[in-house]
Amino acid sequence: MERQDQALGQIAFVNAALGEGMTENLAAVRARRCWVVDLDGVVYAGEHALPGAVAAVQALRDSGREVAFLTNNSRHRRAEVRRKLLELGIPCAEKEVLNTSCATAHYLLHRGLTREVGVLGMPGLAAELAEHGVTLAEVDVCATLVVGIDLDFTYEKLVRGLRALRRGIPFIACNRDANYPGRDSQLLAGCGAMVAALEAAAQRSPSYEVGKPNPFMLELLCRGLQRAKADCVMIGDSLEADILMAERAGVPSIFIGEPPPPPAAEAALRTLPTLHAANLADAVRLVLGPGMYPMY
């Protein structure tokens, strides 16, 4: 009980810093029946679930809320992301999971960019595009270039991408995440690092950025769930991706992690979360109340 009181006191103190509208903010979040949850750094780190995350998702579902997952990670096929959640003990339907590999495939289909698509990224991204009917091509001769996270990114790939982009073809970035948390909270270089290298070399910006903070992914997820955005609250650990997307989409948000900077320091981003919690378990406890979800 003492640990629970300390945790709740810490959450309340941090949220008080977000403004005097804490009561209204909490009410706004409680009214949303669909929680859209980021994965890396919120549900899991590396191959391991974060403490309390599995029980937190179950507590939300037990309260009658729907839980869906939205990740900028393009490393795997959507089916593989779902399989990972199942293996961690989090049941979910395919429609409740969306990553940038799948979202990028939908974007290409929508724009008619489905022929001779080159991929600088992991095999999972290429496989997801192919599953959606996208015809793949070598980067050297492609008509569209898609860039995702690539754990084997090399100078040779940079040069091939540069030469492709100098032909003026569409440049599609899965996301701009500079980094993301791995195991033991150690940061790993994200897709944004590869995108930035290509952007600097080719001296041109991406034609389109699919992932968060673009609301496109949330809209796509909502269509699959047959939910309105007004039903949703976004939970994530990135102010620049998750929380900014929520603001652009007009939905409330919960920031997970270290307390956000003071409002004055946030002027450049001009975005603050609706609520803040140290982790997903504390976010669920804050919204549902301590009687609905015990301490882990």
Are 188 and 243 within one domain?
no
Q: 204 lies in a domain?
A: yes
Domain boundary among 186, 209, 232: 209
Contact 148, 161 (CB under 8 A): no
- At 29 the pLDDT is 95
Q: Kindly state whether residue 234 falls inside one of the protein's structural domains.
A: yes
pLDDT of the chain, 296 residues: tens digit per residue: 343 444 444 444 445 444 556 789 999 999 999 999 999 999 999 899 999 999 999 999 999 999 999 999 999 999 999 999 999 999 999 999 999 999 999 999 999 999 999 999 999 999 999 999 999 999 999 999 999 999 999 999 999 999 999 999 999 999 999 988 777 778 889 999 999 999 999 999 999 999 999 999 999 999 999 999 999 999 999 999 999 999 999 999 999 997 655 554 554 456 789 999 999 999 999 999 865 554 44
The answer to whether residue 128 sits within a structural domain is: yes
Give the pLDDT score at 76: 97
Return d(Cα 121, Cα 139) in angstroms, integer: 11
Tell me: do 220 and 186 sit in the same domain. no
Same domain, 132 and 201: yes
Residue 295 lies in a domain: no
Q: For the chain, how many structural domains are there in total?
A: 2
Domain C-terminal end among 142, 174, 209: 209
293 in a domain, yes or no? no
> What is the pairing mode between strands 144-147 and 171-173?
parallel
Q: Is 149 exposed, middle or buried (0-12, 13-18, 19+ CB in 10 A)?
A: buried
Whole-number Cα distances in Å, 108 to 33, 54, 145, 214, 288: 31, 34, 11, 15, 39
Residue 95 lies in a domain: no
Query: How far is C-alpha 167 from the geometric centre of its chain's CA atoms?
Result: 31
Q: Are residues 197 and 231 in the same domain?
A: no
Q: 174 with 100: CB under 8 angstroms? A: yes
Q: Are residues 202 and 217 in the same domain?
A: no
Angstrom distance (rounded) from CA 195 to CA 161: 10
* Residue with the two structure tokens 């790939």: 157
Query: Domain ends where: 179, 209, 239?
Result: 209
CATH number for the domain spanning 198: value is 3.40.50.1000
Flag whether 102 is in a domain.
no
Quote the tokens at residue 46: 């590396």
Tell me: do 230 and 274 sit in the same domain.
Answer: yes
Residue 26 lies in a domain: yes
| Claim to verify: residue 193 and residue 249 sit in the same structural domain | no
Looking at the fold, whether 14 and 26 belong to one and the same domain comes out as yes
Number of alpha carbons in the 13 Å side-chain half-sphere of residue 272: 21
Cα separation, 57 vs 288, whole angstroms: 12
Tell me which residues are annotated as active site.
38, 40
Q: pTM of the full predicted structure?
A: 0.88
**Are 122 and 204 within one domain?**
yes
CA–CA distance, 78 with 97 (Å, rounded to integer):
7
Same domain? For 120 and 200 the reply is yes
Whole-angstrom distance, CA of residue 91 vs CA of residue 250: 28
pLDDT at site 292: 52
Domain assignment of residue 238, given as a range: 2-72+212-288
